[in-house]
Structure 1
Amino acid sequence: MLYALHELAYHSATPFRIGAQWARDFWSHPFNLASETAVGRTVYASAELFESLTRRYGKPAWRLDAIPVGERTVRTTEQVIWASPWCRLIRFARHIGDLKRAGKPANAPAVLIVAPLSGHYATLLRGTVETFLQDHDVYVTDWVNARQVPMLEGRFDLFDYIDHVRIMLAEIGPRAHVIGVCQPGPPVLAAAALMAMDGDPNRPASMTFMGSPIDARLSPTVTNQLAEARPFAWFRSNTIHTVPLPYPGVGRRVYPGFVQLYSFMSMNEERHRDAHHRYFEHLVQGDGDGVEKHASFYDEYLSVLDLTEEFYLQTIDIVFQQHLLARGLFSHRGRHVELDAITDIGLMTVEGAEDDISGVGQTQAAHGICPNVPDARRVLHVQPEVGHYGVFNGRRFREEIYPRVTAFIADNERLSAVPGRPATAA
């Protein structure tokens, strides 16, 4: 019912949104002599703000056709390497000629960036992907909005997620490097352990976890406390809703992306309110830089996707309430996941000292539960003055965190050298 009401509210606002668009266009038209008056700018700003708050934000584009590498520009080609109804494995193949002109080798370490499946699209990691493209052959998991998947495609749960990670690492080939950003930490760690247990030649050479809830019992945040304060039955009864028409996934039970978005925004309500007030002022003043910065962030932040009921509820139960992986009690399809089987996979953890979603200690807990990773292949890094998103994006990530991660990858690439690894550019 809530999902249907949400859709009704959106469509009911359509006439007002269209009116706001007309008003915005009228009061910003260069032939309107009043467009630069105080009244004109205020009406224009009001209309623009209303339209931006009531529009539907679809899946953003990657916009990574070309990236700066040093003083050069390197073109990339977006390639779908593998796909299921639930995910596309995307590779951003770099142009070999451009790499040569930029002084970069074509045969770069392969990196799989596992994007979070927690309400936002993988494009939230656009800056992360762009940074890693400086020195690596980059692949990224592009998860599909559950409301777009017909019921005939069946279920998708936490165990399917783990299987997807294994399949995608196999598609990339032996000894790639995997990076789990936030939510993927536990399932990626479980996938790596299962591959190690099987002696899988495609097991990763290294794994890096950034702001991940490996052990959510440590330094609990508001998010963790909410997950533990409510009984499991409460989440089943209050957070799961049915996809309505006209979406392809009509009838599917999901955790809606808009519910996750409203939850996150309510945690920082004053910050978001102030941001939109400043946006209004920038519009009135004609501050293009301020307007562009705000729009760039919120166009991404307000774009959300739905999670399947089974995936969301299993994550709440296994990761945030029972903490099965951290306690050494997690099983995958009847097999106990033995983290001590990981002996030749590097392990790096990155945390933000001011992270209010995954508290300090939750990610570095991976070191304690993976006892057989050699000390020479471990790195533990806590970044000062950085919150959750700063762990994988922004200036401090580019200038202080990324150099440490790429050095870690280089060390493990050398220790896990695979003879005859092919060139990795387009």
Structure 2
Amino acid sequence: MYQLYELHSAAWAPFLPWLQASASFLEAFENVPSAVPTRHLAAGFQLLVRLWKRYPKPQFGLAKTLIDGHRVAVSETVVLDKAFCRLLHFERATRHSQPVVLLVAPLSGHHATLLRDTVRVMLPDFDVFLTDWRDGREVPLAAGAFHLDDYVAYMREFIDYLGPDLHIVSICQSTVPVLAAVSLMASRGEPTPRSLTLIGGPVDAQREPTTVDELAVNKSLDWFEREMIDTVPAHYPGAGRRVCPGFRQRMAFMAMKADHHLRSHLNYYFDVAAGNTEAAQMHRSFYDEYNAVLDMAAEYYLDTVRVVFQECRLARGTWRVCGEHVRPGDIRASALITVEGEHDDICGPGQTRAAHDLCTGIEASRKHHLTARGCGHYGIFSGTRWRTEVYPRIRSLIYGYTPVPAAC
């Protein structure tokens, strides 16, 4: 399948520049009253380009932020460079002493740039570090395998690097390995982060199962290995690596909401033809990110299907990471914050909140839950409701567990 996908992309590649140039030429006639058919033709060419072009990893593009009314420069720095992940620091040119936050992006088919809005909103208030997962096809075979246990090990290393005074904010899939990493640290008697925020993740996928959960349970692991795993072609650095290709993930997600995506693309066609520039640009911005996907190491993908969804080991208390028993009940010093979306169709209501039942060692007064009314999955970490409703409450809670610096 991977080879066929590459051949298909290569076949379309020579035509895309011509289609784009033709669309730009035809758009020059958009103000001519008799040019309605021309505008529709230009819109059709643009839609074809967007349907068949390849989408590279986007840039974060966060060069500035606003702190106390002043514009402050932001630089993107790699502070730890691992085989499958880079730890990024969005360093701000300011002497403000603010809480350190480790923002953990999900490794579930999209790049960490999916959290661009999450980072942008947090930058004025926090010193933000972010996990930037590598595309599996870019990781040479010599780097070895990458399992779910390795993900947990990465989290422990990143926490050790940043120190125990940090706060963790994990999103979607990342909530499970993050909770495991903190649990293992607590079991060993090591200092744990001041607060742990889990946003829209499958801590217990048995609760209110969604279409995603039902697919994972209704198909065997052999089916996933047969249908979802392929080999990286020869012309990539990771040639020969077994992966779950990003394009397969994207196809699966789009198939679950085929009607929605079809309407969205048809609306884009009509918006371009009618000259609705703002609406067309919103479509482009969303799908530029949505269509930019990465390959996941096969062993990690299959581990996640089995451990998180099929066997629910974290929720059932049966998970062992490299032989160590994962016991969330051992966490005592960290505050727990969970966030769910009322209309989340990827992680159902209760799946993230389940962490409260597992973390029995945390006092009730240090446990907090937020259900974002009217929010779907992406709305709890990106977009208007994230900025105006969800984030202000998370910020207030995190600051409540941050020591006030002593006066000089």
Paired with 1:149 and 1:362, the residues of 2 have a C-alpha distance of 32
- Residue 337 of structure 2 corresponds to residue 329 of structure 1: no
SS at the partner of 1:53? helix
Superimposed CA distance per residue, residues 91-134 of structure 1 (whole angstroms, 9 cap, x where no aligned partner) = 1111217xxxxxxxx11010001000000000000000111112
Structure 2, unmatched stretches of 5+, are none
- Pair 1:379-2:386 in alignment: no
Partner of 1:9: 8
* In 1: Cα distance, 2:154 partner to 2:406 partner: 26
Percent pairwise identity: 40
Q: Report the alpha carbon displacement of residue 18 of structure 1 after superposing the two structures with TM.
A: 3.0
Q: Does 1:405 align with 2:404?
A: no
User: Which amino acid in the other structure matches residue 410 of structure 1?
Assistant: Y
Corresponding residue pairs, total? 407
Partner residue, 2:175: 185
Residue type of the partner of 1:89?
L
Report 1:307-386 matches (<5 A): 307-386=296-375
- In the TM superposition, what whole-angstrom CA distance separates every residue of 1:371-392 from its partner, at most 9, and x where no partner exists? 0111221101111111100111
> Structure 1 regions of 5+ residues with no counterpart?
98-105, 421-426
CA drift of 1:236 comes to 1.3
Tell me the SS of whatever aligns to 1:359. coil
Which position in structure 2 is the counterpart of 1:258? 247
Deviation at 1:33, TM superposition (A): 9.0
* Structure 1 residue aligned with 2:148: 158
Query: Which residue is equivalent to 1:20?
Result: 19
- Residue 135 of structure 1 is aligned with which of 106, 113, 125? 125
Cα distance change on mapping 1:69 and 1:272 into 2, 3 Å: farther
Tell whether the 8 Å contact from 1:28 to 1:35 is kept in structure 2 after alignment.
no
Asked whether the equivalents of residues 355 and 386 of structure 1 are also in contact (C-alpha less than 8 Å), the reply is yes
Q: 2:159 aligns with which of 157, 164, 169?
A: 169
Q: Is the 8 A contact 1:121 1:143 kept in 2?
A: yes
Match of 2:137 among 138, 144, 147: 147
Distance in 2 of aligned mates of 1:310 and 1:380: 33
CA distance, structure 2, for counterparts of residue 83 and residue 419 of structure 1: 34
CA distance in 2 between counterparts of 1:136 and 1:33 reads 47
Amino acid at match of 1:37: A
Q: Does 1:238 align with 2:227?
A: yes
Hey, what's the Cα distance between the residues in 2 that align with 1:11 and 1:371?
54
Q: CA RMSD for the aligned pairs?
A: 1.8
Q: Deviations over 1:158-215 (max 9, x none)?
A: 01100111111122122200111000111000000111122324x2111100000000
Distance 1:278 1:327 in 2: 45
| Aligned partner letter, 2:204 | D
TM-score normalised by length of structure 1: 0.92
For residues 182 and 81 of structure 2, the distance between their equivalents in structure 1, rounded to whole angstroms, comes to 20
Match in the other structure for 1:276: 265
Post-superposition offset of 1:36:
7.9
Structure 2 match to 1:84: 82
Using the TM superposition, give the Cα deviation of residue 69 of structure 1 relative to its aligned residue in structure 2, in angstroms: 4.5
Distance 1:240 1:413, change over 3 A: same
Q: What TM-score do the two structures reach when normalised by structure 2?
A: 0.96
Aligned pairs for 1:10-49 (under 5 A) are 10-29=9-28, 37-49=35-47
Letter in 2 for 1:14: A
SS of residue in 2 equivalent to 1:326: helix
TM-aligned CA distance change 1:370 to 1:142, over 3 Å: same
